[in-house]
Structure 1
């Protein structure tokens, strides 16, 4: 069955490596390579690949490209979605690094995908079932991604685009700097970062049944990834659900002192609900708020009805496990 690569020519690494990517794919004439510059092109491109019977699809772009492609793919008419791979073609590449089981350069990742799709690699490179966040809102298309955020996460993304990227920090350091600035702003009670966002949550965690609460949150992060950028794992809550959620409420206690433990997901005697920190694993969640939300680095407008989050599954290749491939970026 055909295999395909879809490349976002506007993503960071593709601006530099589009030529070498094309040259590599020209040595594999059985591979369908399509290029895009705008997310609005994706539904038609993916539908064309569906009609051609594509069995394996690599997404060549950044976190936002992966989010847009997943959304177009899972909202489309593809009854049996292809096995997916995400190539690190962007700036941060948080999604690619986690799904691939480690950091891998764009061209080595592409070679690994081609080998895996041809079934020329050992069985340990068989697809792995991974969980993907589905965000539903009445009257809107479902959105799909791996990391959802509210509050300071959205403000940190805007700060990153407005102030940090112009510093030309490499790869993950830019969002890392923006995140630290946001947490510093929360700790110093700076309104632009620290102002609490009123939210109403209704959720189920598989242990206590349905629950609800109202709170003012400065930071909310929900993810199905094992590690976020810079290797962060800011989740420590109990439960068996697929959605890992951490909340930092407005005016948390001892934030700067507890921040290293929070980012590593290691609870301390200060990292408690009473001090403003909550973490748990959920099966599903409904959120009512008046704030913008983030999904894989993409900012979405205020929802006009509650957001409903749960998880769906998709087969995904972990490309960094390919033997003999260098891990250089």
Structure 2
């Protein structure tokens, strides 16, 4: 058994045991003191698109109907559900496992998978791991991604909720579902900076700003208390509603962030209700998912494409309206009360505060948010 370069790609014959000792590091970050204070990881900048280490264009490997699929597995030992656990598989020499030591090694691992002609890419980790794999893989696979499967091993697994993947779904079950399961198509959110570094971008599924950043920190506190997935989401919602009822306008939950939103390719300024400061929005939430944890339905009846739910600095008496909207209701006169639900092909975001993508913070700035490639996910 030996590793291929930094990727530590292992062939799985009778079985493979991956010992989880290396840390899952991060792209260039802000100083560690600031990270510790924030309790969520902060990216200093968007990651630059990876340059493929290997040329995956034509690998000359064709799969005949009925053949065992060639499977590549990205295993994140830092994911919540993987801590202290080995990764065992004993099913086929067609399964390849990569355990990158940090994000910078993902492009090499994915390029090697591409050169091996994998039919299925399995991501063993949470939403943050999915974000990192999609971001690194965009320049490797382009418009020719293999089918994907996600094993829900993170603190949050919103994507697997949308895909209908059960907790504890195994690698073998994901491989079986390649032939016998269902397929779900989704396009991730694609974020690029405006005016500089066009090669930088990140792909993910849940974007939030304003009170959402505060809620993410609250969710981290819920994790420490043992609440994960839908329970953590519910805990953060309860905290938020309590703050809306009792806190002043200066409270982070109610103040939000100073931001400007432009809709569509023409960058048309998003309307403001006039409730609160027109230069501020209390909350921005965007996603391409259709089903969210804890039964949340912030977009109302809008299901397809890139969806936004935005609130202005709403009043205390509007908190009950917010609760109804989170359950999928659309009360009358929501625009006048400071609530906005819409879909768009793209939008711009100019923000003076950090925003969150799949659980981690990115810096203030000017960004264009659209949709990435259509991906096909394997589900039960």
Q: Structure 2 CA distance, aligned partners of 1:244 and 1:227?
A: 12
Deviation at 1:286, TM superposition (A): 0.7
Pick which of 285-294 and 126-135 moved more: 126-135
> For 2:370, what is the secondary structure of its paired residue?
strand
Structure 1 or 2: more helix by fraction: 1
> For 1:159, what is the secondary structure of its paired residue?
helix
How many residue pairs get aligned? The number is 300
Structure 1: give runs of 5+ residues left out of the alignment.
321-329
Is 2:74 the partner of 1:6? yes
Alpha carbons of structure 1 residues 243 and 126: separation in structure 2 relative to 1, 3 Å: same
- 1:199 is matched with 259
1:22-41 equivalence runs, <5 A? 22=88, 25-41=89-105
> For 1:313, what is the secondary structure of its paired residue?
coil
Is 2:174 the partner of 1:113? yes
Alpha carbons of structure 1 residues 103 and 280: separation in structure 2 relative to 1, 3 Å: same
Q: Structure 1 CA distance, aligned partners of 2:322 and 2:214?
A: 18
1:68-107 equivalence runs, <5 A? 68-76=132-140, 78=142, 80-99=144-163, 101-107=164-170
Deviation at 1:253, TM superposition (A): 5.1
- 2:356 is matched with 294
- 2:234 is matched with 176
Contact 1:237 1:278 in 2 (8 A): no
Q: Structure 2 CA distance, aligned partners of 1:78 and 1:279?
A: 31
- 1:277 is matched with 339
Give 2:206's match in structure 1, choosing from 147, 159, 163.
147
> For 2:155, what is the secondary structure of its paired residue?
coil
Is 2:195 the partner of 1:132? no
Deviation at 1:255, TM superposition (A): 3.3
Q: Structure 2 CA distance, aligned partners of 1:237 and 1:284?
A: 19
Which structure has the bigger radius of gyration? 2
Q: Deviations over 1:212-270 (max 9, x none)?
A: 136411111001101221121110276x9711100111133523312331112211136
Alpha carbons of structure 1 residues 81 and 233: separation in structure 2 relative to 1, 3 Å: same
Deviation at 1:180, TM superposition (A): 2.5
Give 1:160's match in structure 2, choosing from 206, 219, 233.
219
- Cα RMSD, aligned residues only: 2.3
1:182-221 equivalence runs, <5 A? 182-190=240-248, 191-204=251-264, 211-213=268-270, 215-221=279-285
- 1:62 is matched with 126
Q: Deviations over 1:128-182 (max 9, x none)?
A: 3212111111316111011111011111112332x32221124431232123313
Q: Structure 2 CA distance, aligned partners of 1:128 and 1:314?
A: 10
- TM-score normalised by length of structure 2: 0.73
Alpha carbons of structure 1 residues 127 and 177: separation in structure 2 relative to 1, 3 Å: same
Structure 2: give runs of 5+ residues left out of the alignment.
1-62, 64-69, 271-277
Deviation at 1:77, TM superposition (A): 5.7
